[in-house]
Amino acid sequence: MTPFDKLVARRWEETADSVGFDPAKVDLVWGVGDGYPHFKTPRGFGVTFWDGKPPCRLLFARKLLDAPLHRQDGIVRHELGHVVDMVFGKQRVDRWATAKGVKLAATDERRADDIALAIWSEPIRYDSDLVQSTRYGEYPRPKFLGL
């Protein structure tokens, strides 16, 4: 298992612990590649796919493997926020987040960041390249990026 795979697996375990589910019972797969068009853009590092039935899929750009850990972690946390929202449904996730003291945004991208905040008690920031980070940048997600 690569260091990046270990990061994703650890964050998935933490997600399961916080949200309250058995990670072995929620089918999540992830991989790294370059074939997705979004990855050709400067901000394109990760995407989440779920068509309503297992598995939920995360795809990360190969360039993410060369990024600093704070960026890798920010992107992984953001994408896992999408996974939680997609797999468990907005009403259940809203109730869970409220119990954690976090009000979730109505829009998908900020909502994923808010879910990550509820899990790790740390905001997702947007660094000088406007990419997710756990260490540097602006919070919340800038409006001009799309919410």
Tokens 């994408």 -> residue: 79
pLDDT score of 116: 98
Q: How far apart are CA 3 and CA 86, in angstroms?
A: 26
Q: Which of 33, 28, 31 is nearest to 13 (CA)?
A: 28
**CB within 8 A of 99, min separation 6: which ones?**
none
pLDDT score of 10: 98
Strand partners, 48: 58
**CB within 8 A of 91, min separation 6: which ones?**
none
pLDDT score of 8: 98
Q: What is the pLDDT of residues 48-70, one digit of tens each?
A: 999 999 999 999 999 999 999 99
